[in-house]
Chains A and B, each alone.
Chain A
């Protein structure tokens, strides 16, 4: 295809040709093009179908504010729907497809919607698909979704890499137009650390779109020279292709850098986009302004575009949308487009200016006081109908119409912390208000300063003020400084189908209907009509919508107000927010010291927080997890088993006040615990509920090792630091976590002592007399390696926990397995651990659920009355100590094979099954291979006094009823003889 709409000049590299495909057809383009400019160059005006009515649509703008020209970019897993053609930088081999059409863009079956537009007005879905309710999910919603104008997902995982990063600067300048460049030159030359970010791939903003001069240079040349100087400054970091998407707390800005979107293929390991968090001392918003349209009948035909966009396409991209162009304007800027296009050889059909005193021109006709009242053309603009001030009608033959309704400052980021813009009467536009995010100031057109000189000046001044610079700012280049006033002209009266929000197919009439039907708040208008939603977030439509609402309400625009602007400024792929954190790397994983060994043994792992723990170790022939777990339990109780319990939190507590500190943190007494002894401890929250349980081993007078549950390791440490630093700052206590430092294994079972005697060096006496239940101490193993030994038991068996430095954990586990062969030692996982602790009646996470007191858990006596400790007073609140409070019990089914279900509720054998008659609930349930029965733990009202009572275990939702008996929670070895053996 020839690029029939190419003009002379522009910032494109004509020496290189790129080929691309749109809807399967091949075209050519040049480096420097966007997909939008390349399509226009190839005379493709029809790009998509509208959201609701499936009307033919083309480009409206040239930037990220584009509502219409959205396509599916790339193919396969890399397909990205709803991508704005105006922001897609051209690369060789680019492939894009139009979306929201079937079977083809030119013939779209759902264009029939347009014929029924009277029925499909605002609120149509809400009014129509109300009945029957059951139809909504199965029929209406899928149907509407299929018809709605969203691109389609590939349904494949995104294969590209994304990244996140952090940058810091003295001054972040957002936008590299005249204000931004001048600010960067000012701050950069003064030596400040500057980041200059712009969403475009060529820095310069509107300077690249204009033919004006700065000093004696062309505007774009001046911009290029400024960029070259800034690139040479080591303290300035230029970030093109970077959109600052949000202004967050404490001067932190979010920015998306599109590092790979412009490449045909990403280099190995390189990210497609990076989400930067930019920490700033100060920030200067130089985001410019967005031209606003005028609404008129059929103002959405392909070829009808913003006048400034036509100018940019012509001056920067050397492209015209048509060889014959008309302009519809209410201000002088529209005339600038006409002049530039005319100079490029494009025929100007006429400039239609609503102002009766509009400036005239010798080169082309200006229709003063005239208005565009209708347009024609099936897949693109062919004719424009103009109402003349004398009442007559003129028809203009043109393929493109440039529309200019004035400019709206891009205030979005100033509102990200709920600041509200203020109305500027002279500009008839919102400008930034006074309550800006801390550290942010605004310069240039974003601040309502519309002339080039004004932008340059305010940029320089903005940098000086933001950084309190004392150096002389650079001289400003001479530039146009025409005063800009804008008289509002929002829409042509009498129009029927005039589009305000082209992305959402919202018309002038829809806005008025919203008012009529009572949706008068701006927020309601937005939700009722969908005005300002979707990928463009109403950048070209919001103000017009507000103006129409103001008119019908008889209010001023500022009285009507604005909706709030929220981040992100432009759409961001979810993958960019995820960055590197995807798949298995979604969160960090913690591996136990025996992990690699367990993997070799074929262990099945389970996530416990970030930890991966061995759940069970299947042997050949075992086809069901229960077989493995039952075997592990039986073998441990019969001989000896080893379990990696490194994940339990370990906190080193030292200091002369360490014992007294623990006395206050734990509900039970610790002050008199002897050196070389371990004690089970219960930690309460301030409100008296149980926070965590664990053990504290006294290694020396001033040194304890506290263990916590795996789940609460971090929160207990944090709690203890809080207690140390805030509650008892006068105590001499030092805390540090040693969870990772020690590989700790539980060695449990009647042969555990015999096994450990082969590991622990012979000078350490492990006999029951020398190292009794709850003893602890430093030992050496395997010929001199330092180790810690604790005689504690979670399983209820004779058991120890042995700890060595983590690097030796793998070797120690292997050694335990080798040395234990004569005892048929087995490793056991968390499932067997859980079964054995339920058999023994130990409360664990299921019981320490944040709603239970020590009394509930049968541990009421542990809360010492002889001392004060955190939570002890509030644990005695009246409601917590009533006679019928929940108490921990064991639960056995009358038929052993019947399953106990955790979460099931307990009801009396007779009477109704409802909340009012609820007696308690099951917290833990397992199958006990020792008792050959399902068993459980539960909390039952006054349970301690009801042992032996028959009850019903129910789950009405799953239609479950099991007859059970309340028994002691200590199913195995209730007297504790085994663990003291």
Chain B
């Protein structure tokens, strides 16, 4: 077991939590990510294998599915697999083993920072942040968008629970944008 101590994307030892007007924004570092991109001609095999891996139908365009290990659509025949970090730090290796020669798998765990929004009236915050048509966003949605000129994914877990993924190096700017929008909207 190595002895290096991790810091969060915002630079702290513990995740940052901000609560404003009934909505909580939580930095979520305990997530492992691996990207899956189907190899040419193996799209169907990839879809089936991924479904088995996440124990749920492979997500369609703009959706996420799964439970402990889940996946969201990231592009044409591309997905991002999410799992708890503590039990799946080697997620990329696990996914690679599962996908075999059907897909290319890349570790993405620390490529991203995740902020979860919990509470009522989250759409009022999101409409200040991104151009998504929130009328069409519902439980199970996963959409790519730009927040504060930062490319992000927005996942709707439930009406009161959203996840925002942004590039890890921009965590501070993204966090500032989210918290400012929360102050503004709530």
Contact = CB atoms under 8 A, between A and B. Distances in A.
B100 interface: no
A784 B4 CA distance: 10
B104 interface: yes
Contact of A589 (B9, B41, B170): B170
Q: Is chain B's interface secondary structure helix, strand, loop, or mixed overall?
A: mixed
B131 interface: yes
Interface string A740-773: 1111000000000000000000000000000000
A22 B78 CA distance: 63
Nearest to B132: A166
Contact of B128 (A165, A581, A654): A165
A342 interface: no
Nearest to B171: A591
A652 B180 contact: no
Contacts of A797: none
A736 B127 contact: no
Contacts of B41: 732
Contacts of B3: 782-783
A865 interface: no
Given A588-B149, A588-B174, A654-B106, A784 B40 contact: no
B164 to A, nearest CB: 14
9 contacts: A580-B181, A592-B169, A652-B104, A654-B104, A738-B108, A740-B110, A807-B29, A807-B110, A810-B7
Interface in A566-615: 580-581, 585, 587-592, 595-596, 610-611
A588 B113 CA distance: 14
Contacts of B110: 740-743, 805-807
Given A164-B128, A279-B131, A736-B35, A595 B168 contact: no
Contact of B135 (A193, A589, A739): A193
A74 interface: no
Contacts of A703: 104
Given A655-B40, A734-B37, A807-B29, A166 B130 contact: yes
A562 B84 CA distance: 64
A812 B4 contact: yes
A270 B173 contact: no
Contacts of B131: 166, 277, 279
B97 interface: no
A834 B136 CA distance: 50
A125 interface: no
B167 interface: yes
A533 B9 CA distance: 50
A700 to B, nearest CB: 11
B169 A740 contact: yes
B22 interface: no
Contacts of B184: 161, 163, 269-271, 274
A738 B107 contact: yes
A164 B185 CA distance: 11
Contact of B183 (A167, A270, A588, A811): A270
What are the 8 tightest A-B residue pairs by CB atom distance, in nearest-first order? A269-B183, A654-B104, A741-B111, A806-B110, A588-B173, A732-B40, A590-B169, A785-B2
A44 interface: no
A168 B6 contact: no
Contact of A741 (B109, B132, B173): B109
Interface string B119-163: 000000001111111110000000000001110000000000000
Contacts of B5: 808, 811
Interface in B1-35: 1-9, 11, 20, 29, 35
A656 B104 CA distance: 10
Interface residues of B, number: 55
Which of A703, A739, A741, A782 has the most C-beta atoms of chain B within 10 angstroms of its own C-beta?
Answer: A741
Contacts of B7: 596, 807, 810-811
Nearest to B42: A732
Interface residues of A, number: 63
Contacts of A635: none
Contacts of A702: 104
Given A588-B174, A590-B169, A734-B104, A740 B127 contact: no
A656 B173 CA distance: 38
B168 A806 contact: yes
A588 B172 CA distance: 8
A585 to B, nearest CB: 6
A808 B127 contact: no
A916 B7 CA distance: 58
A451 interface: no
Contacts of A742: 110
A202 interface: no
Contacts of B149: 581, 587-588
A808 B135 contact: no
A218 interface: no
Nearest to A163: B184
A781 interface: yes
Contacts of B104: 652, 654-655, 702-703, 734
A742 B167 CA distance: 12
A521 interface: no
Contacts of A590: 167, 169-170
Contact of A732 (B2, B11, B39): B39
A732 B46 CA distance: 14
B67 interface: no
Contacts of A591: 11, 169-172
B112 interface: yes
Contact of A736 (B106, B109, B130): B106
Given A269-B20, A807-B9, 7 more contacts: A580-B181, A591-B170, A610-B170, A652-B106, A654-B104, A807-B6, A807-B29
A737 interface: yes
A596 B11 contact: yes
A121 interface: no
A805 B104 CA distance: 19
B4 A736 contact: no
B120 to A, nearest CB: 15
A161 B90 CA distance: 44
A193 B133 CA distance: 12
Given A166-B127, A271-B184, A811 B6 contact: yes
B42 to A, nearest CB: 9
Contacts of A271: 184
A815 interface: yes
A707 B150 CA distance: 21
A677 B5 CA distance: 30
B52 interface: no
A165 B129 CA distance: 6
A268 interface: yes
Interface in B39-86: 39-41, 78
B115 to A, nearest CB: 14
A726 B176 CA distance: 37
Contact of B108 (A161, A588, A741): A741
